[in-house]
Amino acid sequence: MRRFNCDYSEGAHPRVLSKLIETNLEQTEGYGTDPYCAEAAGLIRGICAAPEADVHFLVGGTQTNLTVISACLRPHQGALSADTGHINIHESGAIEATGHKVLALSSSDGKITAAQVQAAYDEHYNDDAREHAVQPKLVYISNPTEMGTIYSKAELTKLSETCRRNSLILYMDGARLGYALCARGNDLDLPAIAGLCDVFYIGGTKIGALFGEALVITNDSLKPDFRYFIKQKGGMLAKGRLLGLQFIALFDDDLYFEMARHANAMADIIKDACIKKGYPFLTESVTNQQFPILPDRVLSNLGEKYEYSFWQKAGQARSAVRFCTSWATDITDVQALAADILDS
Amino acid sequence: MRRFNCDYSEGAHPRVLSKLIETNLEQTEGYGTDPYCAEAAGLIRGICAAPEADVHFLVGGTQTNLTVISACLRPHQGALSADTGHINIHESGAIEATGHKVLALSSSDGKITAAQVQAAYDEHYNDDAREHAVQPKLVYISNPTEMGTIYSKAELTKLSETCRRNSLILYMDGARLGYALCARGNDLDLPAIAGLCDVFYIGGTKIGALFGEALVITNDSLKPDFRYFIKQKGGMLAKGRLLGLQFIALFDDDLYFEMARHANAMADIIKDACIKKGYPFLTESVTNQQFPILPDRVLSNLGEKYEYSFWQKAGQARSAVRFCTSWATDITDVQALAADILDS
Amino acid sequence: MRRFNCDYSEGAHPRVLSKLIETNLEQTEGYGTDPYCAEAAGLIRGICAAPEADVHFLVGGTQTNLTVISACLRPHQGALSADTGHINIHESGAIEATGHKVLALSSSDGKITAAQVQAAYDEHYNDDAREHAVQPKLVYISNPTEMGTIYSKAELTKLSETCRRNSLILYMDGARLGYALCARGNDLDLPAIAGLCDVFYIGGTKIGALFGEALVITNDSLKPDFRYFIKQKGGMLAKGRLLGLQFIALFDDDLYFEMARHANAMADIIKDACIKKGYPFLTESVTNQQFPILPDRVLSNLGEKYEYSFWQKAGQARSAVRFCTSWATDITDVQALAADILDS
Amino acid sequence: MRRFNCDYSEGAHPRVLSKLIETNLEQTEGYGTDPYCAEAAGLIRGICAAPEADVHFLVGGTQTNLTVISACLRPHQGALSADTGHINIHESGAIEATGHKVLALSSSDGKITAAQVQAAYDEHYNDDAREHAVQPKLVYISNPTEMGTIYSKAELTKLSETCRRNSLILYMDGARLGYALCARGNDLDLPAIAGLCDVFYIGGTKIGALFGEALVITNDSLKPDFRYFIKQKGGMLAKGRLLGLQFIALFDDDLYFEMARHANAMADIIKDACIKKGYPFLTESVTNQQFPILPDRVLSNLGEKYEYSFWQKAGQARSAVRFCTSWATDITDVQALAADILDS
């Protein structure tokens, strides 16, 4: 049985693990104040071309999202998000538990548009009794989205302009950011994202680290006291250097992007097989998550050899599922899966 | 420069790390639903003689405390704690951030007594207008305490009886539990703790793991839906098996206690040197944290070779400091420190 | 200029005010522990045929909603509500500020169905990874709804059965409950509501009181410690008797329903004028709020003499608005408005 | 039986009630946007000599405290308060329920000093690991205090200077402010308070109103969006004019201070009797609350004719109790009580 149900089935890329092994007995300060975290932060500022950015390392995505969003908002403010957004449906109400409403915007492909944001903003401020509603203040996007789609530079630029014109904070959840940046058709890069967003994170957990997310804050007003929020929300790792070390391994050469390219290429093999076979897709994903719609009979057969994620029913005897690849995906396994799809 | 300022200066014990290395490329389910977490939970249920206990693995101590306490309490309830308790002063208001007051009880040695708990309970319930005050509902203790002291079986039994008589939940923060259980004079063990507490955790971060705390819930009423709380508070590790694997390494033989005994023995060397020299202590610690009161002049000299933690001023030109040992502490380093104390 | 924009433009019904005046100099205990609150609670238990119910008095609707819902839920649980529900859009995120997500269900008329509740429940529990989502636990309905519609006994019975079968709490927001119970076609009464809901409130603010809502808790498990929640959320009035006194005035004879009947009758005059004129309605309201869709030109003319609430654009040069009546609405004013609608 | 247990045993001063009666049938906008609230706000700005202040009206004290404090603080910040402060012990954890720790400072008379505030500030900022602790950001004081004592102009000036030097917000809970301003020895007035505090409230509930507190915000940075907070926390009264009307009655002439002077004078009669009899006091109260320490035997006798509040045991067979007077206290009743004390 091979797992294609998610991109965190294995441990870490061996070079990440090596970094932990070789430094294991060194003594450093705790809580992320060690030299390795400083070095990793410097590397990330460098590749983001954001020399003034604050970089913090957290353990996981939900933790990062709830820490960032609660730090950015005052009590009466909420976060605009696609209704498919991770914070809206897959974090057990983590944002609400910090006191803030997620203001869901309808989305079929996981993305939201500048026009939707502007409309939500206008609807709020055009209401004379607006203090009876939650004030939109932060825009949450994920790139790639939970549906595998990506934002173009033009789309992100429009979102950014809309946010800045209206004093909204633009936050990008980059749990799988590498896959987006290495996707076919992508025209964004880290410096562009650092320039257009107020705060974003570069995900490690789902791209080759044991765990860890690198949070980049470029908006000066969001920087003060951020370490308090990390501590309060339970995200400050005692042996914080474990995070710094992993991000050094990911970014001191091209490893992070190398892994992402591999995963995307593996996903393309699955995608191509589905296309050849004439199976439709739930969304036009260009990243390592593919959402084909397959007959339940076919799924049942595939399920004997491969793990995938059920996504949703899609008509009579058909279902949308997710196939997911990673740095660790073996081409032989993918080719076997593709062949079985074609034979289905 | 050798570090005696905390017990999390290094990575993990090599046998813990090996466990991660040897399983690195295996594929498992995420979020703690893998076979390794199941195995580790079974081991822990076994050593606790608590076959019905629920065992969950979380990443860190503050995260565990805030998750447990907010899961146990209704909005109007608070947690009784020593005023020196970690939740009261060293977690950036994490408990309050989940909506609950920490009801501090005065303590000079880090411990609280059954009598203090009963008095706080009575004071609340004897007030006709008690609904204007926070209702005490959970008793938080740490063992060893933040001051290195430990609870005896008699003390814990009295606390437990007081809690059960008054429908209070007894929660033990065991961030350094191994050190307590291996301390000179200790008469508690894991089965006793499992029997007397409603919920407690066995700390890994500060005893040889990279990170990780094993939460043991023995009170049936606290078990339902606990995974929701872990997820909501950002404590559910995607590659959850990393936690299970580490706890297997800690508990499939005597490693956890072996490390604790070593650290305590190393601390004894420091303690003995201070006693010989006539230096007093802030508390009568029997564990791996020692709090001697030294002349500032001596501290200044020691500080050139050793890291320690400043704790508090203690009179004219004297300060209480913390020296901390761990599994990784080398006897040569400790002997050098002891010699320097004796020569001071 | 006559106000038809809401049902709280005036003070209190004179008989309510008289009750306050005649008792003004009496001395009583504070915080709702006085004999008048006890008397009012007894009256309400009587008319609800719920001798075991707990009755509490709060000042306003948002306060009541946030106090009840946060008291009923554990941190990982949320409230199902129509997307048009007051808690979802008109309370500034009050529910989220207590840590809980409002799980919005699509509604065109302000109501939700038992089938929608069951579907939301099933969707949650059919998900193997359900702990990554908010657990539905409470069903919030308003009767009449924010759109003026009402629940039939059959509908409420089905909702209640669905809730009880699935251990969901059914909570009715009765800010305008009197108008529902006196509406044409209504077949519910207070005993039925008390029997079918776990908790509900009878609104005073919008039906003739200066302020005040009477909360009725029939589910035993929701009763303990409720006064703590009221106090903690800032809803415990020092001179609590002011609430009890008003509800005595409302319920020691038929005044509450007398006022509701009057308001509904006044609303019917407006409704009939719109029907005669051929104006459509946003919803089929049978209560004191009417939502006709009128040409903007007509609205502009009416706006010179009457206050109404703009609701939403409704196509080219037409808007849905709200006309609202109350106990204080004068028939002469309504007839003038109706005539102006007919002449428009 | 005459009540001296609190200052909210009666309804409102007749002139306050008259104001409500005479306007009862007028129609106005809701939610505090009516002309009466505007007029009352203007009056208050005038008597405070604070033409730029924002004035809001809320229903009660706990509600005001939790709304203000949660609006002023970011998640990692807390409120310094006397350990006897209302927010620390008598609000059921209302502040913590909004996510913030109350940082208690030791106080024997209900007051805190500038030196205590500075010390708490320094202790926090001198800690290198300060992000592990709650950041002090707001200073909560009550005037008069819960113990009946008052702040002098010099004391308040020093507190204000300390706060401004350290970017702390100074908030005065004036639930009984009138009694302080009319106390013997007082040298503060409303313009001084408006100049020295960032935000404070003038209490109506405990000085002659049915209910209501007038919040005055003089610090510009605290003004934006404040109505959202009031709404979200359930404090926005639908018939908001009821608050404006009452404050007009209190402040369009000297009524507020007239009532306070009367209550203080009545309290003096009780105080003098205790002094003459040689009974000591828990604190040196100069306002309408007196805390004598009386033999339990005497208290038992007094208890047959007068209600008082038990405060605390004060040695063998003696207790501290509270006698409280108000605008409604009759001199005959007080004289009878004083005589009984003298005869005891």
Taking chain B (344 residues) in runs of 10, the rounded mean pLDDT of each run is 94 98 97 98 98 98 98 98 98 98 97 98 96 98 98 98 98 98 98 98 98 98 98 98 98 96 98 98 97 97 96 94 97 97 94
Contact B24 A9 (CB under 8 A): no
Tokens of C185: 């076609």
- Sorted by sequence, the CB contacts under 8 Å of residue C136 that are 6+ apart come out as C77, C78, C79, C80, C103, C117, C120, C121, C124, C168
Q: Which residue of D12, D27, D237 is in closest CB contact with C9?
A: D27
- Sorted by sequence, the CB contacts under 8 Å of residue A85 that are 6+ apart come out as A102, A104, A107, A110, A140, A141, A142, A146, A173
Q: Which residue of D31, D98, D131 is in closest CB contact with A231?
A: D131
Residue A203 CB neighbour total at 10 angstroms: 24
Do residues A141 and A194 both lie within one domain?
Answer: yes
Taking the model in full, what pTM does it have?
A: 0.97
pLDDT, position A312? 93
In this prediction, the answer to ipTM > 0.90 reads yes
Rounded to 5 degrees, what are φ and ψ at B192?
Answer: -65, -45
Do residues D244 and D272 both lie within one domain?
Answer: no
Q: Does D131 touch chain B (CB under 8 A)?
A: yes
pLDDT, position D148? 97
Q: Report CA Rg, chain A.
A: 20
Q: For residue C229, what is the nearest residue in chain B, using CA coordinates? A: B76
Q: Identify the residue among D8, D243, D325 best suited for mutation to test binding to C, counting C beta carbons within 10 A and taking the highest.
A: D8
Q: For residue C135, what is the nearest residue in chain A, using CA coordinates? A: A92
Contact A225 D99 (CB under 8 A): no
Q: Which residue of C135, C225, C236 is in closest CB contact with B225?
A: C135
Q: Report CA Rg, chain D.
A: 20
Q: Does B78 touch chain D (CB under 8 A)?
A: yes
Query: B50 to chain D, minimum CA–CA distance in Å?
Result: 34
- Sorted by sequence, the CB contacts under 8 Å of residue A72 that are 6+ apart come out as A137, A138, A169, A171, A199, A222
Q: Does D19 touch chain C (CB under 8 A)?
A: no
D70: which chain A residues are within 8 Å (Cβ-Cβ)? Answer: 75
Do residues C249 and C301 both lie within one domain?
Answer: no
Do residues C149 and C224 both lie within one domain?
Answer: yes
pLDDT, position D179? 98
Do residues C310 and C227 both lie within one domain?
Answer: no
Query: A95 to chain B, minimum CA–CA distance in Å?
Result: 8
Q: Residue B33 and residue A6: Cα distance in Å, rounded?
A: 14
Question: Scanning the structure block, which residue is given the tokens 């007959």?
Answer: A295
> Which of A227, A253, A279 is at the close of a domain?
A253
Do residues D264 and D191 both lie within one domain?
Answer: no
Do residues B100 and B208 both lie within one domain?
Answer: yes
> Which of B208, B224, B255 is at the close of a domain?
B255
Report which secondary-structure segment, H or E, holds C22.
Answer: helix C14-22
3-class secondary structure, A116: helix
Q: Residue A337 and residue A220: Cα distance in Å, rounded?
A: 48
Q: Residue C241 and residue C225: Cα distance in Å, rounded?
A: 20
Q: Does B93 touch chain D (CB under 8 A)?
A: yes
> Which of B217, B234, B255 is at the close of a domain?
B255
Q: Which residue of A71, A76, A98 is in closest CB contact with D225?
A: A76
Query: D310 to chain B, minimum CA–CA distance in Å?
Result: 10
Number of continuous H segments (helices) and E segments (strands) in chain C: 14, 13
Instruction: Please tell me the total count of domains within chain D.
Output: 2
For CA atoms A264, A265, A269, A275, the dihedral sign is positive
Do residues C198 and C290 both lie within one domain?
Answer: no
Do residues B57 and B201 both lie within one domain?
Answer: yes
Q: Does A224 touch chain D (CB under 8 A)?
A: no
Query: How would you list the strands of the sheet with D135-142, edge to edge?
Result: D54-58, D213-217, D199-203, D169-173, D135-142, D77-82, D102-105
Q: Report CA Rg, chain C.
A: 20
Q: For residue C99, what is the nearest residue in chain B, using CA coordinates? A: B98
pLDDT, position C222? 98
What phi-psi label fits residue B97: left (phi over 0), alpha (psi between -120 and 50 degrees) or beta? alpha
pLDDT, position B127? 93
Domain span holding position B301: 2-7+256-342
What phi-psi label fits residue B100: left (phi over 0), alpha (psi between -120 and 50 degrees) or beta? beta
Rounded to 5 degrees, what are φ and ψ at B113?
Answer: -110, 160
pLDDT-based confidence at residue D19 (cuts at 50, 70, 90)? very high
Paired sense of beta strands C293-295 and C102-105, if any: unpaired
- pLDDT digit string, tens, across residues D156-175: 999 999 999 999 999 999 99
D225: which chain A residues are within 8 Å (Cβ-Cβ)? Answer: 74, 76, 131, 135
Q: Does C206 touch chain D (CB under 8 A)?
A: yes
Query: C248 to chain A, minimum CA–CA distance in Å?
Result: 31
Q: Identify the residue among A22, A24, A309 best suited for mutation to test binding to B, counting B beta carbons within 10 A and taking the highest.
A: A24
Q: Does B276 touch chain C (CB under 8 A)?
A: no
Q: Which residues of B23-59 are buried (b: 16+ CB within 10 A; e: fewer)?
A: bbeebbbbbbebebbebbbebbbeebebeebbbbbbb
- pLDDT digit string, tens, across residues C38-88: 999 999 999 999 999 999 999 999 999 999 999 999 999 999 999 999 999
Report which secondary-structure segment, H or E, holds A79.
Answer: strand A77-82
Q: Does C232 touch chain B (CB under 8 A)?
A: yes
Q: Does B91 touch chain D (CB under 8 A)?
A: yes
Residue B274 CA: distances (Å) to CA of B269, B304, B323, C113: 9, 18, 11, 74
Q: Identify the residue among B10, B23, B226, B228 best suited for mutation to test binding to A, counting A beta carbons within 10 A and taking the highest.
A: B10
CATH of the domain at C169: 3.40.640.10
Q: Mean pLDDT, to the nearest integer, of C184-208?
A: 98
Per-residue DSSP letter, B184 = T
Q: Which residue of D17, D28, D242 is in closest CB contact with C21?
A: D17
Residue B181 CA: distances (Å) to CA of B111, B138, B146, B285, D10: 16, 23, 15, 13, 61
A71: which chain D residues are within 8 Å (Cβ-Cβ)? Answer: 74-75
Do residues B142 and B153 both lie within one domain?
Answer: yes
Report which secondary-structure segment, H or E, holds D320.
Answer: strand D318-324
Contact D237 C10 (CB under 8 A): no
Q: For residue A21, what is the nearest residue in chain B, using CA coordinates? A: B17
Query: C190 to chain B, minimum CA–CA distance in Å?
Result: 29
3-class secondary structure, B100: coil
Tokens of A284: 């036009």
Q: Does B24 touch chain C (CB under 8 A)?
A: no
Q: For residue B91, what is the nearest residue in chain D, using CA coordinates? A: D132
Q: How far is CA D336 from the centre of its chain?
A: 28
Contact yes or no for A65/A95 (Cβ under 8 A): yes
- pLDDT digit string, tens, across residues D268-307: 999 999 999 999 999 999 999 999 999 999 999 999 999 9
Do residues A25 and A45 both lie within one domain?
Answer: yes
pLDDT, position C137? 98
B95: which chain C residues are within 8 Å (Cβ-Cβ)? Answer: none
Do residues B227 and B262 both lie within one domain?
Answer: no
CATH of the domain at D268: 3.90.1150.10
Give the burial class of A316: count Cβ atoms within 10 A of its Cβ; 0-12 exposed, 13-18 middle, 19 or more buried. exposed
Contact yes or no for A160/A57 (Cβ under 8 A): no
Q: Does C66 touch chain D (CB under 8 A)?
A: yes
pLDDT, position D131? 97
Give the burial class of C317: count Cβ atoms within 10 A of its Cβ; 0-12 exposed, 13-18 middle, 19 or more buried. exposed
Q: Does D59 touch chain C (CB under 8 A)?
A: yes
pLDDT values of chain A reduced to their tens digit, one per residue, 344 residues: 899 999 999 999 999 999 999 999 999 999 999 999 999 999 999 999 999 999 999 999 999 999 999 999 999 999 999 999 999 999 999 999 999 999 999 999 999 999 999 999 999 999 999 999 999 999 999 999 999 999 999 999 999 999 999 999 999 999 999 999 999 999 999 999 999 999 999 999 999 999 999 999 999 999 999 999 999 999 999 999 999 999 999 999 999 999 999 999 999 999 999 999 999 999 999 999 999 999 999 999 999 999 999 999 998 999 999 999 999 999 999 999 999 999 98
Q: Residue C291 and residue C309: Cα distance in Å, rounded?
A: 9
Q: Identify the residue among D3, D18, D23, D24 best suited for mutation to test binding to C, counting C beta carbons within 10 A and taking the highest.
A: D24
What subunits make at least 3 CB pairs under 8 angstroms with A? B, C, D
pLDDT, position B53? 98
B66: which chain A residues are within 8 Å (Cβ-Cβ)? Answer: 234
The closest alpha carbon to B93, from A233, A223, A59, D87, belongs to A233
The closest alpha carbon to C325, from C86, C148, C100, C145, belongs to C148
Q: Residue B308 and residue B299: Cα distance in Å, rounded?
A: 9
Query: A141 to chain B, minimum CA–CA distance in Å?
Result: 19
pLDDT, position D88? 98
- Sorted by sequence, the CB contacts under 8 Å of residue D185 that are 6+ apart come out as D150, D152, D286
Strand residue runs (E) in B194-327: 199-203, 213-217, 289-290, 293-295, 306-307, 309-313, 318-324
Q: Mean pLDDT, to the nearest integer, of D57-62?
A: 98
Contact B129 C31 (CB under 8 A): yes
pLDDT, position B122? 98
